[in-house]
A = this chain, B = another copy of it.
Amino acid sequence: MSVIVWWLATMVMVAVHSASAGVVELNWEVEYKLGWPDCKEGIVIAINGEFPGPTINAVAGDTVIVHVTNKLSTEGVVIHWHGIRQNGTPWADGAAGVTQCPINPGETLTYNFIVDKAGTHFYHGHYGMQRSAGLYGMMIVRSPKETLQYDGEFNLLLSDWWHQSSHAQELYLSSRPMRWIGEPQSLLINGRGQFNCSLAAYFNKGGLKECKFKENDECAPSILRVEPNKVYRLRIASTTALASLNFAVEGHKLVVVEADGNYITPFTTSDVDIYSGESYSVLLTTDQDPSQNYWISVGVRGRKPKTPPALTVLHYVTAPSSQPPSSPPPETPRWNDFDRSKNFSKKIFSAMGSPPPPRKFRKRLILLNTQNMIDGETKWALNNVSLVVPATPYLGSVKYKLRRGFDRKPPPPPTFPMDYDIMNPPRNRNTTKGNGIYVFPFNVTVDVILQNANGLDANASEIHPWHLHGHDFWVLGYGEGKFRPGIDEKTYNLKNPPLRNTVPLYPYGWTALRFVTDNPGVWFFHCHIEPHLHMGMGVVFAEGLNRIGKVPDEALGCGLTKQFLMNRNNP
């Protein structure tokens, strides 16, 4: 079958769903299945047999109820609702060991929460490296009074894929010495990629052979079918395990209008950098030659790319569906042009009318990001503590005052290590494992300065996209080198900083963010790169601990909460 014919066979249009009622209730079964995400057989985690999982469509204000039944054989499972703030329902955040116990095989947990704000969100596994295994899907929350004008929309969930199982990857990363998992074999758009072949092979670029598809092949690309002279909203989210991505549509400008579920001041760009954990909406006007079709390309940035771009096609209905694009796909910008990346980040401002940040912070935490060694293991650490999530969920420990649930000594004080040389490998490679948390008063303004540094190897500092649960934060600014207290604050944007839940920390630089501790609970804050989190790159924030409401027993029952709940006297 030629490159022409797969096209018709796999053309997919994502329809605009109509507004739903006040409750969205779903029954989900999570299980492994054989799949062909990149045309090579592999094992994926599916929900109700679908990979990626089904898209949730809701309206802001809706209650979402998901009965998640674990049909895995021997593994626990949780689902994190990425971008949903879980105000009043911290137990439903879906972070194993932080807000709940894993759901045991054969059991069902009912997540029940309100989606209070419109936005392009997604969900994913948050236990071990189950996100890498394919446990993810999109979650679209519409506004009941949408002000954006567009004619149609598409959801594009981006991910990366390895041929080695996530179980093997976990073991490699924890091995002594650490064995790096390498770059992904494929990038996926809506769970579909092409390994070792290219849709654009006929341009003779990259040396890959033409892809052959059979009808209904799971790895054939989802084509975006558009009419000329219309405006489409592309909802793009990245749930990659590792890759930082760049998204472009051949011959079309993109107007970025939303970031992580918050409207921003629209700006026009030829391409979008998107890091794991981020989402964007872009408006695309189909104003090009309607007799042609056009490439959509997703390539790797930020790390030396060894993975070819993921491709699909923007198909004008006025062009023959069997006609491949006449020009080569857009080139992904040079991977290590970090100035270009930073420029993109710095173009993002909140939309007019968005709430500005408080003028001053009450607490400030500087988090030095380092790569270290401990007992032969390679680890990532914050202020020299590499996080090991305890068996007892923090939320249970604080709710029920189980003092042995985690180390009550707080992590190293948030004072900046003034003498640390961020430009060179650590003088002392050692770190410590820990599970202490940062406890903040309720309803105060907290600044976090993420400070990057050199890793274990010389001349190597990586991008880390940091994701905060339970909150949006204002991104006050980015800077080069070491943050200078008392000086760099002057560069902050306090006028229209964007609200986000994920933000990149660039090599050898710092990122400043601000949030208000207005959501009683325990919240994970971590690098969204799955291997980095697995290697300890996270911290835990707690706030309003005496205001935490009822935590359903079903969400607990492991570690110390098991014994506690069993021995609790009923009234």
Residues of A within 8 A of B (CB): 32-34, 43, 73-77, 97, 101-102, 104-107, 127-130, 165, 167-168, 170-172, 175, 390-391, 553-554, 557-559, 562-563, 565-570
Contacts and interface: CB of A to CB of B under 8 A. Distances in A.
Residue from A73, A106, A557, A563 having most chain B Cβ neighbours under 10 A: A73
Given A105-B76, A167-B43, A175-B34, A557 B553 contact: no
A434 to B, nearest CB: 15
Contact of A167 (B165, B171, B390, B567): B165
Contact of A74 (B32, B130, B557, B569): B130
Given A74-B127, A128-B73, A566-B568, A558 B104 contact: yes
A168 B165 contact: yes
Contacts of A562: 107, 553-554, 557
Given A175-B34, A566-B568, A104 B391 contact: yes
A232 to B, nearest CB: 38
B553 A563 contact: yes
A566 B555 CA distance: 12
B74 A128 contact: yes
A74 B73 contact: no
Given A75-B75, A165-B168, A168-B165, A391 B32 contact: no
B168 A106 contact: no
Nearest to A566: B565
Contacts of A565: 565-566
B569 A566 contact: no
A45 to B, nearest CB: 11
Contacts of A43: 167-168, 171
Contacts of A170: 73
22 contacts: A33-B171, A43-B167, A43-B171, A73-B128, A73-B167, A74-B75, A74-B102, A74-B127, A101-B104, A104-B104, A105-B391, A106-B558, A107-B559, A107-B562, A165-B167, A165-B168, A553-B562, A557-B562, A557-B566, A565-B565, A565-B566, A566-B568
